[in-house]
A = this chain, B = another copy of it.
């Protein structure tokens, strides 16, 4: 699948609109109820155009995940390199995660769907391989945050009782936004930033008064 991905990426992103249409279909209908026909119809293209890039629906589902996770990695890695104590950088990374999740909410809804499908037994071997690969990306992603928290505990800029559980809880608070967040008509990037700040403030400071 790696060779295939490289081929797609060197293609001047001719498949970008396929990914957008697929993400929207998977989000609205779920993986099992979505057909390649549905994606083609939403795209106003032929199935042949999609099959030029993807050999199956599972392949396409995986590439939506890869694209969604790529966007999250890009946003969060940029936030991670800014200077400051690790605890402060962790706060910025979580805000970047929240903001990127809102700005790419169709992709992220599909990623969350993949995470839930991974729990279920009713998958084919090809789907299972794809879901395992998706979980690998998620683990690498979670590792970025956990290592920053551990660095914060070393330099004194963060304190938690259990870093691994705290990171799962912090990311969970943000990932759960895929259940309740919808872009509002006329919403600006500042509105999304304010929302990201509110969520991350709870994770940074807690609800107990200081």
Listed in ascending order, the chain A residues whose CB lies under 8 Å from chain B are 27-30, 32-33, 87, 90-91, 109, 112-113, 115-117, 119-122, 149, 152, 156-162, 165-166, 168-177, 179-180, 195, 197-199, 201-210
Contacts and interface: CB of A to CB of B under 8 A. Distances in A.
Contacts of A199: 165-166, 169
Contacts of A169: 173-174, 176, 198-199, 202-203
Nearest to A201: B161
Contacts of A87: 207-209
Among A27, A165, A202, residue most surrounded by chain B Cβ atoms (within 10 Å)? A202
Nearest to A115: B179
Number of chain copies forming the complex: 2
Contacts of A168: 176-177, 180
A88 to B, nearest CB: 9
Contacts of A179: 115-116, 119, 172, 175
Contacts of A109: 119
Nearest to A182: B119
A97 to B, nearest CB: 13
Contacts of A210: 159, 210
A122 B119 CA distance: 21
Nearest to A210: B210
A189 to B, nearest CB: 17
Contact of A166 (B29, B112, B175, B202): B202
B209 A206 contact: no
A159 B27 contact: no
7 contacts: A116-B179, A156-B209, A157-B208, A161-B197, A161-B198, A172-B174, A205-B206
B166 A176 contact: no
Contact of A90 (B91, B112, B119, B207): B207
